[in-house]
Amino acid sequence: MQLSLQTDYAVRTLMYLAARQERATIDDVASFYGISRAHIAKVVNQLARLGFVRSIRGVGGGLELGRAPEELSIGAVIVAFEGPMHLLDCVGMSNVCAIEKFCKLKGVLAEAERLQLEYLNSISLADVVPTKRQLTKAEIPS
């Protein structure tokens, strides 16, 4: 499985907000990671719609986590951004292959997907967030 850039940016934005433990702006996130402001704005919009972040307007506004890092699973974020992720079409749909009725591979792949999602759901944002000190010392790649 390879995640889309949008999902990558979403998880990184959440990690940044969790590490800072204070409001940040889209510009803060974009500048820190060296990503275009437009990409981060698009991701933040989706994160806000999904309830992962809160966007506060006005003076002193910015972005903050919508839930505590311990309550946010990495699996939930990935599924929200990626949707159903199947290794092959036959795992998620019927009548896509001539050998589907007796194919053992479909079951193997379905179990692999189940285990992967179970693992990702067991990891919270708090488990992967860097410390505020690490974030401060991080250098943006040129």
Q: Is residue 29 pLDDT above 90, yes or no?
A: yes
pTM as predicted: 0.86
For residue 86, the model assigns a pLDDT of 78
Q: CA 95 to CA 8: how far, in whole Å?
A: 33
Bigger pLDDT: 24 or 102? 24
What's the chain's length in residues? Answer: 142
Domains (ranges, CATH) in the chain?
Answer: 5-137 (1.10.10.10)
DSSP secondary structure string for all residues of 39-54:
HHHHHHHHHHHTTSEE
Q: CA 34 to CA 32: how far, in whole Å?
A: 6
Q: CA 113 to CA 42: how far, in whole Å?
A: 28
Q: Is residue 140 pLDDT above 60, yes or no?
A: no
For residue 142, the model assigns a pLDDT of 44
Neighbours of 45 (CB within 10 A): 13
pLDDT in tens, 35-82: 999 999 999 999 999 999 999 888 888 999 999 999 999 999 999 999
pLDDT in tens, 86-138: 777 778 778 888 888 888 888 898 888 889 999 999 999 999 998 878 877 77
pLDDT band of 16, cuts 50, 70, 90: very high
Q: CA 104 to CA 37: how far, in whole Å?
A: 46
Beta bridge partners of 54: 64
